[in-house]
Amino acid sequence: MSEQAATKEYKLSKGYTNYIFILLFLLYFFDYVDRMVVTSLFPHIKEEWGISDAQCGMLVSAIYWSIVMFTIPASILVDRWSRKKTIGLMAVIWSIATAACALTKNFGQLFGARCVIGVGEAGYAPGGTAMLAGLYPEEKRSRMMGIWNASIPLGSAVGIALGGIIAKEFGWRHAFGLVALPGLIVAILFFFVKDYKTVDLLKTSEAAGGQKVKMSKMDIFREFIHTPSLLFTYFGFAAMVFVTTSLMTWLPTFFNRIHNMPMDQAGIKGGSVMILALVGAPLGGFIADMWFKKRKNARLLFSSVVAVLSALFLAVGLIFFSGNIQYVFILFMGLVIVAFVPAAAAVTQDVVHPGLRAISYALCVIVQNLLGASTGPIVVGSLSDSFGIDKALLVLPAFLVVAAVLFYIGSFFYECDRDKVEKVTLEAEG
């Protein structure tokens, strides 16, 4: 395909589309800066208010609980009202709520402010995913989502680091105020970008002689429940997130207890594993797109391969090695395990009506948070209480195998599901 032909597939100019991408990347980056800054402030907040570790954990969980509750309503606004306006409004809300944390006087107020941050962030991942899916050519969908998702570990690392630095120099309340400002500026800029027009929920009806008719609520329900590749992707995604969240939560404890490492060093060592997502996510998106050009169900096949390789690296490292060699295997696992994200996220956009893309990813967010992010740390923690942290982590490769099987089964339905999607020509805003 010539460069000229490829450019024609962009809904807006290539340069302007990349400008929107930069803003979306920055918003996701500041999303996670604002979300994670509180973790490095725990010692200061505990000292001032005398709260427990459980209450500290609730300050993080509050955001995920809000996301689960509000992601569907926010995604409906994205799909049915305006992507850019909803995303801009959400970013303003989470930035102001982050700044408001600096003004809180007790745990209840801070918990409430953190819940509002989650309300603001509830629809951003679905909204950004839908916007990227619409603005970029289909064959570039995975790689752009891979680069976009690299903002998550980067934002998390910067938020944790900045929180500690600012709190030490100026006090913990200033950390909330200072990290909120850049996101607010980018949010305001986003209101002024161009986008593609909201897609009407119409379908081709054989009963109406091939004419377009408005989709009913039952039609929308069937769009999801009668798309097997989508359902297998949701649950495969959840199994992978079960593992990644468990590792982020418990790897520092594993290094502390099993390798007799001080907790500050164990935290750095555990965080280094997941920061490899900076490389793994973009690389996974690029490889998945290259394979997609040759095989249409490649995105789910690639996700399955990633899950198998991650299971092998993690199992071999935990079972057969210790010390530095074990850490090398865990690092390889950390590099590989996130590579599935852009490919699987692209599938949630490929096989649904273009007017339902944000809702599609919102459902994925709900499934992965309920079955993955919120359950993994608890299951591994319970197993650790009974058998020790080293034995508890051995359950994780089994979940990766389950994910591989789910993605692989879904790959058999992908092409049929994709062919059934309503053909819609997206139009740029005037």
Q: For residue range 395-411, what is the model confidence (pLDDT) as tens digits?
A: 999 999 999 999 999 99
216-420 CATH: 1.20.1250.20
Strand partners, 204: 212
Query: What residue type is 384 in one-letter code?
Result: S
Greater confidence (51 vs 17) lies with 17
Helix or strand or coil: residue 428?
strand
Classify domain 3-190 at the CATH superfamily level.
MFS general substrate transporter like domains (1.20.1250.20)
Per-residue pLDDT at 132 exceeds 50 = yes
Q: What ranges do the domains of the chain cover?
A: 3-190, 216-420
Helix or strand or coil: residue 260?
coil
Helix or strand or coil: residue 205?
strand
How many Å is the maximal CA-CA distance in the chain?
72
Q: How far apart are CA 74 and CA 126, in angstroms?
A: 9
Q: How far apart are CA 394 and CA 382, in angstroms?
A: 13
On the CB side of 389, CA atoms within 13 Å amount to 15
Q: For residue range 64-106, what is the model confidence (pLDDT) as tens digits?
A: 889 999 999 999 999 999 999 999 999 999 999 999 999 999 9
Tell me the backbone φ, ψ of residue 428, rounded to 5 degrees.
-70, 150
Local confidence band at 428 (pLDDT 50, 70, 90 cut-offs): confident
Average the pLDDT over 32-39 and give the result. Answer: 87
Average the pLDDT over 138-166 and give the result. Answer: 88
Query: Model's pTM, two decimal places?
Result: 0.86
Q: Are residues 151 and 29 in contact, defined by beta-carbon separation less than 8 angstroms?
A: yes
Q: How far apart are CA 115 and CA 410, in angstroms?
A: 35
Q: For residue range 325-377, what is the model confidence (pLDDT) as tens digits?
A: 999 999 999 999 999 999 999 999 999 999 999 999 999 999 998 898 888 88
DSSP H stretches of helix in 81-171: 83-100, 107-121, 124-135, 141-149, 151-170
Per-residue pLDDT at 2 exceeds 60 = no
Q: How far apart are CA 90 and CA 374, in angstroms?
A: 23
Structure tokens at 388: 């020790």
Local confidence band at 5 (pLDDT 50, 70, 90 cut-offs): very low
Inter-helix orientation angle 107-121/124-135, to 10°? 20
